[in-house]
């Protein structure tokens, strides 16, 4: 711990500009950044208020004890204080402050750093070209033998309910910090399953609209669903690798019971990933079907335009012939030439219209 404190100030000064640029646009005040901080001994929360440093010192001196501190969009200064107390690696701290991070698992000596992207389904009355279907946030987790530090970005992925459920399940919480990590991942992936079910309902609605005789779904709606699916996939698919790394035991060592819990989370995440692949194929099929319908509609419109142009061209031909300035032309001196020509023009138009109508062009 002494060595880490020695190099931390120099890192903070050298990287102040990078950290400040990486912080969210509207960071919380230092007093508001800490959502909750507690010491747990044997799965039971210790009452009383204390500083994170004092809690960590007590956890190190007590068997089966650890500290869990939860932060929401902390400023660089507050994050620097927490990093100094818990001895967090500067590269991991920099990633914890950055706005966008893909799900990953990295090891820094005795501290593991895990990034998880939380998601939420956005309810909507109807799907439009700009409807937001999936909203995502991020949870960054520092975990060691005696502490868990969670850093949340965005309004998605609140951990109050996770903490409350864990405090009611003392047997699970007694397994230590990795039980907290499992509870967070489990809640995130369970929400993935709910989002997949809701997304399926949206797809069913759009698919029914595409396959109607008079298709009402627009290409813009299908593209919007694909954009939202890409955002959802960016949260689900990259999480497979960190979960696999946790399970193989090469990076982190877990008890058999906790590994069993993580295996269940990985299975659920794989199910969601498979459903996303199916959604993507279905959206591609719907897009191709809608484009084919648009092409058919355009062909029908062109046939109608060509049919009316043919009818107009026939009348133009009659008018053009009898509009020539020749002295000797048939029927020019005939008393009924003008009405006779009109009758011929109307008759040929009617015959041509009937023929085109019968052939399906009109």
pLDDT tens sequence across 99-135: 788 899 999 989 999 999 999 999 888 888 888 889 9
Residue whose entry in the numeric block shows the structure tokens 């520092």: 142
How distant, in Å, are the alpha carbons of 68, 82, 97, 112, 279 from that of 33? 14, 11, 12, 22, 38
Phi, psi of 140 (to 5 degrees): -110, 130
Neighbours of 295 (CB within 10 A): 10
> How would you label 296-322 residue by residue, b for 16+ Cβ within 10 Å and e otherwise?
eeeeeeeeeeebeeebeeeeeeeeeeb
For the chain, list the strands marked E by DSSP: 34-41, 44-45, 65-72, 104-108, 111-116, 119-121, 134-136, 138-143, 147-153
Whats the size of the chain, residue-wise? 362
Query: Angle at the Cα of 161 (from 228 to 155), degrees rounded to 5?
Result: 40
Contact criterion met (CB below 8 Å) for 280 and 196: no
3-state secondary structure at position 39: strand
What is the percentage of the chain residues whose pLDDT exceeds 70? 88
Distance separating alpha carbons of residues 35 and 167, to the nearest angstrom: 16
Kindly tell me if the per-residue pLDDT of 163 is higher than 50: yes
98-107, 208-217, 239-248, 267-276: range with lowest mean pLDDT: 208-217
pLDDT, residue 25, reads: 45
Q: Which domains does the chain have, with CATH numbers?
A: 2-293 (3.30.460.20), 297-358 (1.20.58.340)
Q: What is the pTM of this model?
A: 0.75
Across the range 303-318, mean pLDDT stands at: 82
- Model confidence pLDDT, tens digit, residues 14-52: 334 434 434 444 444 555 688 889 999 998 998 877 899
Kindly tell me if the per-residue pLDDT of 144 is higher than 90: yes
Closest to 97 measured CA to CA, from 16, 214, 215? 16
Kindly tell me if the per-residue pLDDT of 233 is higher than 50: yes
Across the range 328-346, mean pLDDT stands at: 74
Kindly tell me if the per-residue pLDDT of 13 is higher than 50: no
| Mean pLDDT over the full length of the chain | 83
Residue whose entry in the numeric block shows the structure tokens 């000064």: 13
Write the CB contacts of 111 (distance below 8 Å, at least 6 apart in sequence): 86, 87, 88, 89, 92, 142, 143, 144
Distance separating alpha carbons of residues 162 and 236, to the nearest angstrom: 19
How distant, in Å, are the alpha carbons of 64, 153, 177, 192, 241 from that of 144? 13, 21, 7, 27, 20
pLDDT, residue 31, reads: 57
- Model confidence pLDDT, tens digit, residues 346-357: 888 888 888 878
Distance separating alpha carbons of residues 337 and 134, to the nearest angstrom: 73
pLDDT, residue 21, reads: 38
Angle between helix 256-322 and helix 219-236 axes, rounded to 10 deg: 160
Q: For residue 326, what pLDDT band results from cuts at 50, 70 and 90?
A: low
pLDDT, residue 215, reads: 63
Q: For residue 241, what pLDDT band results from cuts at 50, 70 and 90?
A: very high
Q: How large is the C-alpha radius of gyration of the chain?
A: 35
How distant, in Å, are the alpha carbons of 105, 148, 328 from that of 255? 18, 17, 110
Across the range 154-158, mean pLDDT stands at: 85
Across the range 153-164, mean pLDDT stands at: 89
Q: For residue 213, what pLDDT band results from cuts at 50, 70 and 90?
A: low
Across the range 64-89, mean pLDDT stands at: 92
Distance separating alpha carbons of residues 252 and 259, to the nearest angstrom: 10
Q: For residue 330, what pLDDT band results from cuts at 50, 70 and 90?
A: low
Write the CB contacts of 353 (distance below 8 Å, at least 6 apart in sequence): 307, 311, 362
pLDDT, residue 357, reads: 81
């Amino acid at each position: 711990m002494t060595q880490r404190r020695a190099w931390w100030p120099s890192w903070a000064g050298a990287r102040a500009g990078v950290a400040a640029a990486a912080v969210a646009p509207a960071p919380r005040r230092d007093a508001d950044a800490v959502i909750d901080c507690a010491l747990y001994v044997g799965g039971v929360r210790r009452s009383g208020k204390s500083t994170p440093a004092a809690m960590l010192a007590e956890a190190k001196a007590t068997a089966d004890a650890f500290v869990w501190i939860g932060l929401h969009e902390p400023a660089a200064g507050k994050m620097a204080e927490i990093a100094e107390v818990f001895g967090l690696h500067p590269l991991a701290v920099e990633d914890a402050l950055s706005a966008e991070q893909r799900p990953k698992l990295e090891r820094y000596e005795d501290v593991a750093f895990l990034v998880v992207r939380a998601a939420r389904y956005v309810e909507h009355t109807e799907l439009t070209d700009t409807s937001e279907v999936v909203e995502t946030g991020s949870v960054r987790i520092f975990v060691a033998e005696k502490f868990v530090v969670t850093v949340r970005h965005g309004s998605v992925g609140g951990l109050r309910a996770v903490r409350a459920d864990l405090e009611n399940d003392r047997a699970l919480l007694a397994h230590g910090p990795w039980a907290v990590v499992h509870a967070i991942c489990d809640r995130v992936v369970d929400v993935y399953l709910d989002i997949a079910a809701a997304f399926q309902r949206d797809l069913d609605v759009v698919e029914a609209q595409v396959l109607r005789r008079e298709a009402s779904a627009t290409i813009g709606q299908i593209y919007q669903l694909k954009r939202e699916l890409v955002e959802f996939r960016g949260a689900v698919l990259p999480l497979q690798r960190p979960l696999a790394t946790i399970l193989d035991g090469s990076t982190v060592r877990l008890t058999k019971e906790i590994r069993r819990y993580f295996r269940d989370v990985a299975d659920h995440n794989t199910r969601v990933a498979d459903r996303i692949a199916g959604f993507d194929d279905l959206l591609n099929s719907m897009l191709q079907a809608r484009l084919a319908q648009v092409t058919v509609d355009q062909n029908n419109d062109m046939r109608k335009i060509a049919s009316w142009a043919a009818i107009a061209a026939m009348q133009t031909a009659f008018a053009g012939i009898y509009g020539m300035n020749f002295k000797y032309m048939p029927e020019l001196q005939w008393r009924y030439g003008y009405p006779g020509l009109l009758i011929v023009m109307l008759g040929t138009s009617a015959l041509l219209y009937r023929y085109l109508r019968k052939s399906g062009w009109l």
